[in-house]
Structure 1
Amino acid sequence: MKTKNYAGVDLFRIPAALMVAAIHIAPFSTWNRVGDVLFTYCLGRIAVPFFLMTTGFFVLAPYAKSGFRDKRRLVRFLRQNTLLYLAATLFYFPINWYAGNLPKNVLEFFKALLFDGTFYHLWYFPAAILGCLLVAILAKRSMRAAWIYAGIAYLIGLAGDSYYGLIQQIPALKACYDGIFSISNYTRNGIFFAPIYLLLGMAIANPRNRCSKTACRWGLPISVVFLLIEGYLTDLLHLQRHNSMYLFLLPVLYFLFQMLLRIPGQAPRWVHGGCTLFYLIHPAVIVLVRGAAKITGTTKLFVENSMIHYSAVCVVSLGLVAAVLFLKERRNAVCAKKVGPGSS
C-alpha cells in the first residue's frame, strides 16, 4: 500500500473516542432515555468497529498485499497493543483492588485477560489482538474461509447480544450461549465481533472493493436510519442482552469508512496517540470526577446531571491528554537539542 494522507480516517478518531466515553456515561440519561438508546447506544456503537477497521486497513491489508509474507507491521501491532494492554492493566489494578473487582480465581483471571478485559473498557485490546490473529491465520489459508467464518461468527454474536431475546426461550440454544458466557461475559470479543470489521477494513484497502461517491452519499444515511430503527426496536422489544452488535452497523461502517477516505490532507501528528490516551484514561477520570464531586459536595451537579458529568469527564480527560502530549514534545525538543550540532 502506497503511503498516503488519510486525514478523514485519522480525524474521525476524535469523535470516535468521545463516543466511547459517552457509552460509559450515558449523557442523555438524565433527560431522555430514548436519546441514549438512539445516539449513545446506536450511533455511538460506530466507534469500536471503526477502530477495528483502521487496523484491518493499515495493518492486515499490507500483510495480505505482501502475499502474507511481510509480517513486520502485524507483529509490531500485536507487540505494541499487548504491551499497552498490560500497562493499562497495571494502571487500573489499584482501582480494581479498591472496588473489589479483582478475579477470584485463575479461571476468572484468564476470562478477564483474554476476553472481557481487565477493566471494563480494556476488552478492546484482547478483542483486537485475538481477532487479528484469527483473521491473519484464516486469510493466509483462504480469504473465502475467513469471510465465511467472520460472517457466521458475527451472526452468532448478534444472537448473544442485541437479539438474545429471540433465542433465550429455546432451551438448546440457550444452553449453547450459557456455555459461551461461561468463558466470556459477552459475544463482543475477538472471536465473534472483531473479525468481520477487520476483514471489512482489509477489503476497503483495495479500491476495487469500494463503491462510487454517489452510492456512499445515499448508502450512509439510509444505513444509519436502519441502524437507529434496529437499535430502537431491539431495545423496545427487550431483545437485548447487550447492545454492542447490530446488523446495520456493517453497511454504516462500509459507507462511512469510504467517505472518510475521500477527505484529503494530513491530520496533526498528535491525533492518533492523543485519542489512544483519551481512550485509556477516561474511565479513571470518571472515578476522579465522581470523587472530586463527592468531596466538594457537587455530586448533584457534576454526577447526577449526566450531560454535565460527561462534559466534565471529557474536558478533564482532554486536558490531561494535552498536558501529556505537551510534556512529550518538550522532552523530544530537549533530546533533539542535546544530540544536535555541536553536541559531544
Structure 2
Amino acid sequence: MVEDMQKNQVKLRNHSVDLVKCIAALLVVSVHADAFSEMSPVLENIINGAFGRMAVPFFACVTGYYLTKYTEQNGRAWLNNVKSLLKYYILLSVIYVIWSSLSNQFQEMSVAVIVYTVVKRFVIYGTYYHLWFFPAMILSVIVLHLSIRWHKERLCWMLCLLGVIFGALTYNWHHLISWEQLPVLGRMMGWYDFDYIRRFITLIGPFTFLGNFIFRHKDQWMEK
C-alpha cells in the first residue's frame, strides 16, 4: 500500500517494519479464521484477542507515518496511496460480490436494490465485513492529506484524542460500565452504521494520525 507511493524514486526499505507487517498480516488472518480456538482458548485469547487486535492499528500507524514522510517529497503521495488501496479493494470486492451472488445472498432483490446495496457496502461498510478496513483507511488517508495541506494536523491530533475517549465510552468493558443506558448514547449505539463510524473515529483515524504525530516529533525525540 504505502510502497506504491514512490514509483519513480529509489526506495529505502525499513526491513524491521516489513517484518512486523508480515507478522501483523498473519495475525489478521488468525483473528478472522478464529485460529487456535480448538487448540487452546488461552492461546487464542493471547494471540487473537491481544496481539491480533494490534495488527490493524499498526497498519494505520505505519500508513500515517510514511504518508506524512512522502508527502513532503511528493504532493501526490496520498493519491498514490489511495490508488494502491483501491487496487486491492476492488479486486477483493469483485471476488466477494461474485461469491455473494453464487451463494444466493442477492436472491429476490431487484437489480436496482443490488446495485444500491453493493455501492453502499463498498463506500461505507466494506463490500464484505472483513473489508471494512479499506473504506476507513481510504477516508483516513484523504483526511490526513487535507490536514497536512491546510496545516491542521494539531487540530486533528486533538480531535483524534477526543474520538478515542468517546469510543472508550461506547464499550461496556466487560459489563463494568453501562453507558448505553444514557438516552442519546444508547440510541446511537443501536444505530447499525454506528459500529463502522466508531471504527474510524476511534481506531483507523487516530492511529493514522498517531503515525503522523510520530513522524513530526521523531527528530525531537531522537535529540534527547
What TM-score do you get using the length of structure 2 for normalisation? Answer: 0.77
* 2:50 corresponds to which of 42, 57, 64: 42
Query: Is residue 154 from structure 1 mapped to residue 164 from structure 2 by the alignment?
Result: yes
- Distance change (3 Å), C-alpha of 1:163 and 1:212: farther
Distance 2:70 2:63 in 1: 10
131-140 vs 146-155, which deviates more?
131-140
> How far has the Cα of 1:78 moved from its partner?
1.0
Q: Give the % identical residues.
A: 24
> Deviations 1:23-74 (Å, cap 9, x if unpaired)?
01222211333332232021111111111112112113332x46xxx42111
Relative to structure 1, the CA distance from residue 161 to residue 129 in structure 2 (aligned partners, 3 Å threshold; closer, same or farther) is farther
CA distance in 2, matches of 1:40, 1:9: 20
The runs of 5 or more residues in structure 1 that have no matched partner are 214-344
Say whether residues 1:194 and 2:199 are aligned partners.
no
Partner of 1:246: none
- Structure 1 position 3, deviation (Å): 5.8
Cα displacement (A) at 1:117: 0.9
Q: Match for residue 126 of structure 2?
A: 117
Q: CA 1:152 to 1:110, structure 2 compared with 1: closer, same or farther past 3 Å?
A: farther
For the residues of structure 2 that align with 1:132 and 1:164, how far apart are their CA atoms? 33
Which of 182, 188, 193 aligns to 1:176? It is 188
1:55–1:201 CA contact under 8 A, matched in 2: yes
* Structure 2 Cα separation of the partners of residues 128 and 188 of structure 1: 13
Give SS of 1:61's match.
Answer: helix
Match of 2:4 in 1: none
1:71-220 maps to which residues of 2 (within 5 A)?
71-102=75-106, 105=113, 108-139=117-148, 140-161=150-171, 163=173, 165=175, 166=177, 167-178=179-190, 181-187=191-197, 189-206=199-216, 207-208=218-219, 210=221
Unmatched runs of 5 consecutive residues or more in structure 2: 1-9
- 1:204 is displaced (CA, Å) by 2.3
How far does the alpha carbon of each residue in 1:134-172 deviate from its partner, in whole angstroms, 9 at most, with x for none? 222234342221101111122233334574953122232
Amino acid at match of 1:81: L
The structure-2 alpha-carbon separation of the partners of 1:45 and 1:119, relative to structure 1 and needing over 3 Å to count, comes to: same
Separation in 2, partners of 1:171, 1:209: 45
In the alignment, is the contact (CA less than 8 A) between 2:68 and 2:215 conserved in 1?
Answer: no
- Are residues 162 and 34 of structure 1, via their aligned partners in 2, closer, same or farther at CA, if it must alter by over 3 Å? farther
Once the two structures are TM-superposed, the CA of residue 187 in structure 1 deviates from its matched residue by 4.4
Q: 1:160 to 1:111 in 2, by over 3 A?
A: farther
Which residue number in structure 1 is paired with residue 31 of structure 2?
23
Query: What CA distance in whole angstroms lies between the structure 2 residues aligned with 1:101 and 1:184?
Result: 23
- TM superposition shift of 1:184: 4.7
Matches within 5 A, 1:183-262: 183-187=193-197, 189-206=199-216, 207-208=218-219, 210=221
SS in 2 for 1:189: helix
In structure 2, the CA distance between the partners of 1:155 and 1:112, relative to structure 1 (3 Å rule), is farther
Distance 1:76 1:124, change over 3 A: same
- Between the aligned partners of 2:222 and 2:186, the Cα distance in structure 1 is 39
